Amino acid sequence: QKEVEQNSGPLSVPEGAIASLNCTYSDRGSQSFFWYRQYSGKSPELIMSIYSNGDKEDGRFTAQLNKASQYVSLLIRDSQPSDSATYLCAVNVAAAGNKLTFGGGTRVLVKP
């Protein structure tokens, strides 16, 4: 079993709709969780971080964390063509030396 798993996609959503991305992780000692956006040929850019169970909203993005079920999700509201990218989920197990473990990424395509 991979430590951090994501559906590779592509996830195709119409412009203006909500894109829903999911990520599951295996280490119950995981303490902090991150979502990165990566455009083709570019380096990842941090868009959301979450540490406590529940929802965290930042603009059009909402991160949701459920430690009991070991999943973290990202919602993108009012999706725009500029949101078309690969979204990487990353998990930090502090006891393992503050190394982030990444999922394989979900490719999102927003169609006008």
Partner 1 sequence: DGGITQSPKYLFRKEGQNVTLSCEQNLNHDAMYWYRQDPGQGLRLIYYSQIVNDFQKGDIAEGYSVSREKKESFPLTVTSAQKNPTAFYLCATLRGANYGYTFGSGTRLTVV
Name the site residues for partner 1 (rule: CB under 8 A): 4, 8, 31-32, 34, 36, 42-46, 49, 51, 88, 90, 92, 94, 97-105
Q: Angle CA(78)–CA(44)–CA(97) in degrees, nearest 5?
A: 120
Residue 100 or 109 having the CB closest to partner 1: 100
Give whichever of 16 and 52 is closer to partner 1, judged by the CB atom.
Answer: 52
Beta strand 106-111 with 11-14 is parallel
Q: How far is the CB of 16 from partner 1 (least distance, A)?
A: 28
Residue 106 — left, alpha, or beta (φ > 0 → left; ψ -120 to 50 → alpha)?
beta
Q: Return the number of the residue (45 or 57) whose C-beta is nearest partner 1.
A: 45
Instruction: Tell me the closest approach of the beta carbon of residue 56 to partner 1, in angstroms.
Output: 12
Question: At a CB cut-off of 8 Å and minimum separation 6, what does 43 contact?
Answer: none
What's the CA gap between 56 and 4, in Å, rounded? 20
The CB-of-62 to partner 1 minimum distance in angstroms stands at 17
